[in-house]
């Protein structure tokens, strides 16, 4: 999700903001399962020889499961719950990626994970803004922390592949804004909202 392209104008109305937040959290909840499934396979890849690298991917897998548990709590606090069809669909997507990651190359799963993580940062930045507009300030801090954790995940995979020879022919995805900007841009948005 691209924060810069997201139009918050319709969500000045708190009820609409809450509805948009629920949809976004439902999608994120299912997406975290897809990511977790994918990393489960990735951590067991036949192409990862380095034990430390394997352990780091397992840590990322656990981060995604933690996000998912908290997103479930957030949805409940918004009188909502995950959408079954989306959950099933994303579970299958994650399982398919897991199978590929297990037997695919070293490079492609690392590259794909980094590209996916770059979109997750924006997703939680948007969620934090929608929480503000919906009057759910209690969710903001954790959503910003999630964005920072996704930033760290993206950074991990970027550093893995950035010096690989393939990137001379197949460039990396767009680099996210600096980690500090997650907080500073949110503060600017918050100040603008109060005016
Ligand atoms: Fe996550
Ligand atoms: Fe992640």
Query: Looking at residue 129, which CATH number applies to its domain?
Result: 1.20.1260
In-domain check, residue 40: yes
152 has pLDDT over 80: yes
User: In sequence order, which residues have a C-beta less than 8 Å from that of residue 62 and are 6 or more positions away?
Assistant: none
Distance between CA atoms of residues 183 and 23, nearest Å:
23
pLDDT one-digit tens code per residue, 123-134? 999 999 999 999
Q: Report the chain's mean pLDDT, rounded to a whole number.
A: 95
Q: What is the mean pLDDT of residues 159-177?
A: 94
Query: CA 45 from chain center: how many Å?
Result: 22
Judged by its nearest atom, the ligand closest to the C-alpha of residue 28 is 1
Q: How many CB atoms lie within 10 A of CB 114?
A: 21
Residue 6 C-alpha to ligand 1 middle, in angstroms? 20
Residue 60 C-alpha to ligand 2 middle, in angstroms? 6
Specify the DSSP class assigned to residue 42: H
State the pTM of this model. Answer: 0.95
Q: Which domain holds residue 148?
A: 9-190
In-domain check, residue 2: no
pLDDT one-digit tens code per residue, 137-148? 999 999 999 999
In-domain check, residue 179: yes
In-domain check, residue 50: yes
Residue 195 C-alpha to ligand 2 middle, in angstroms? 34
In-domain check, residue 3: no
Region for 163 from its dihedrals, namely left if φ exceeds 0, alpha if ψ lies in -120 to 50, beta otherwise: alpha
What is the number of structural domains in the chain? 1
In-domain check, residue 163: yes
In-domain check, residue 1: no
In-domain check, residue 133: yes
């Amino acid at each position: 999700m691209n924060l810069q392209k997201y139009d918050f104008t319709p969500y000045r109305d708190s009820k609409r903001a809450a509805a948009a937040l629920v949809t976004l959290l439902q999608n994120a909840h299912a997406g975290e399962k897809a990511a977790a499934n994918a990393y489960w396979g990735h951590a067991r890849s036949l192409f990862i020889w380095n034990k430390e690298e394997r352990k780091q991917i397992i840590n990322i897998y656990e981060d995604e499961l933690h996000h998912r548990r908290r997103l479930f709590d957030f949805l409940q606090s918004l009188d909502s719950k995950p959408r079954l069809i989306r959950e099933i669909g994303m579970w299958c997507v994650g399982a398919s990626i897991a199978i590929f990651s297990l037997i695919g190359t070293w490079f492609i799963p690392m590259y794909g994970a980094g590209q996916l993580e770059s979109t997750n940062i924006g997703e939680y930045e948007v969620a934090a803004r929608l929480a503000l507009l919906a009057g759910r300030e209690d969710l903001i801090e954790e959503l910003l922390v999630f964005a920072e954790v996704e930033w760290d995940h993206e950074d991990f995979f970027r550093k893995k592949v950035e010096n690989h020879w393939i990137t001379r022919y197949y460039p990396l995805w767009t680099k996210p804004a600096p980690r500090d900007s997650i907080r500073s841009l949110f503060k600017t948005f918050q100040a603008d909202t109060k005016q």
